[in-house]
Amino acid sequence: MIQAGTYLNVIDNCGAKNVCCIKVLSGYRRRYANVGDLIVVSVKNLRTKRRSASKIKKGEVSKAVVVRTKSPIKNFSGESFNFFENSVVLLNNQKKPIGTRILGSLPKLFRYTKFLRLVSLSTGLVS
């Protein structure tokens, strides 16, 4: 579960390394975000090798979609699994991914959301 103030890793190649959640979107007074939810984030750190050619700058505010959480995720068959880190993919104002690659795998539930483009950019899917 992600809430305001949570630090998250960025797993695409847009140039950002860590972000901090500012607001959980889609709901009045909504406190927590799970996998697949939109949040507003602020960029805290950039990757060292990509600082000069980064598509995003430090301190910039953008939207992101949560793709991994430490809290368990239930899939459609009733099984639950979790990841070792909290991660996001940064989006632009049209809700398209800023980066062109996603490092690592995503949960299979992204096949059934409006973020189907993330599935084709990632390396694989996990139950």
What pLDDT was estimated at residue 107?
A: 92
What pLDDT was estimated at residue 50?
A: 66
Do residues 97 and 89 make contact, with C-beta atoms less than 8 angstroms apart?
yes
Which pLDDT tens digits describe the chain residue by residue (127 residues)?
999 999 999 999 999 999 999 999 999 999 999 999 999 999 999 998 767 778 899 999 999 999 999 999 988 888 999 999 999 999 999 999 999 999 999 999 899 999 999 999 999 999 7
Domain spans in the chain, listed from the N-terminal domain onward: 7-100
State how far the Cα of 17 lies from the Cα of 32, in Å rounded to an integer: 22
What pLDDT was estimated at residue 53?
A: 76
Please enumerate in sequence order all residues whose Cβ is within 8 A of that of 60, keeping only pairs 6 or more positions apart, or say none.
42, 43
pTM value is 0.92
Domain 7-100 sits in CATH at 2.40.150.20
Do residues 64 and 2 make contact, with C-beta atoms less than 8 angstroms apart?
no
How are beta strands 87-91 and 7-10 bridged, if at all? parallel
Q: Is the dihedral of CA 94, 74, 69, 21 positive or negative?
A: positive
Helical segments of the chain, H only: 116-121
> DSSP 3-state assignment of 33?
strand
**62, two tokens:** 């953008």
What's the pLDDT tens digit per position in 50-81?
677 788 999 999 999 999 999 999 888 889 99
